[in-house]
Amino acid sequence: MRNLWIFINRYSTFFLFILFFAVSFILIINNNSFQRASALNSSNEIIGRAYEKIDYFKAYIDLNETNLTLAHENAALRALLKSSNYDNEVTSRTIRDTSLQPRYSYIEARVINNSVNQKNNYLTVNRGSRHGIKKGMGVISSNGVVGIVLNVSPNFATIQSLLHSDTKISASLSKSEAFGSLVWGQNAVDPQYAVLKDIPNHVEVAKGEQVVTSGYSLFPSGVIIGQVEETGILSGSSFLDIKIKLNNDFSTLRYVYIVTDKLSEEKKKLEEQNSENG
Domains of the chain are 2-61 (no CATH), 168-251 (2.40.10.350)
Q: How many other C-beta atoms lie within 10 A of the C-beta of residue 72?
A: 14
- DSSP assignments along 137-176, one per residue: -EEEETTEEEEEEEEE-SS-EEEEEEEETT-EEEEEETTT
The values of phi and psi at residue 159, to 5°, are -120, 130
SS3 content of the chain, % helix, strand, coil (to 5): 35, 35, 30
Mean pLDDT of 192-209: 89
Computed over every residue of the chain, the mean pLDDT equals: 75
So what's the pLDDT on residue 124? Answer: 92
Alpha carbon 67 to its chain's center:
9
Size (the chain), residues: 278
Does pLDDT of 265 surpass 50?
Answer: yes
- DSSP assignments along 89-147, one per residue: -EEETTEEE--EEE-EEEEEEEEEEE--SSSEEEEEES--GGGT--TT-EEEETTEEEE
Q: What is the pTM of this model?
A: 0.65
**What digits encode the pLDDT tens for the residues 53-93?**
554 555 555 556 656 656 665 665 655 555 444 444 433 33
Does pLDDT of 211 surpass 90?
Answer: yes
**Residue 69, SS3?**
helix
**261 contact partners, CB below 8 Å, separation of at least 6:** 103, 104, 137, 138, 218, 267
